[in-house]
Amino acid sequence: MDRSTGQSHPLDLTEDPNGVWDPVRDDDSPNDDFSVEGTRLRMMWDEGAGPLWGDEGLLPAHPEWLRQALGLTDALIADLIMWVRDMDSARDRGQSQDLLNPHAQRLTERLQAEVGARFRVRFHA
């Protein structure tokens, strides 16, 4: 559901318990397909989505999926979700989201360290 209009998201996404959009799942459990195609990850904000994208598009933002598929720590998952919320808040207040780019770069470095050589990680402003 689009938080600003109260209508369904045009890409038919389901809201994650963390307040970010997640690809549709059959139920409230994380997607049990823990595979990630390709070798690149992008960290980026997009209204109603986020924060990670693979070669084939938006990745689920459910913490369990991120732990299983990418091996991310709870601390990094929480920080990624908070960054999405901070970006949403900046947009909602009419503030420049660019002010959050240095933080995003640090998160990208942490993400790269956690996924290792399996993926090449980039931040897309």
Residue 20: per-residue pLDDT: 52
Residue 87's closest CA among 10, 20, 27?
20
CA dist 120 and 91 (Å) reads 28
CA dist 69 and 22 (Å) reads 15
Residue 31: per-residue pLDDT: 56
Per-residue confidence of the chain (125 residues) as pLDDT tens digits?
A: 333 434 333 333 344 445 554 443 434 455 578 889 999 999 999 988 889 999 999 999 999 999 999 999 999 999 999 999 999 999 999 999 999 999 999 999 999 999 999 999 999 99
Domain boundaries, given as residue ranges, for the chain: 14-124
Q: What is the pTM of this model?
A: 0.75
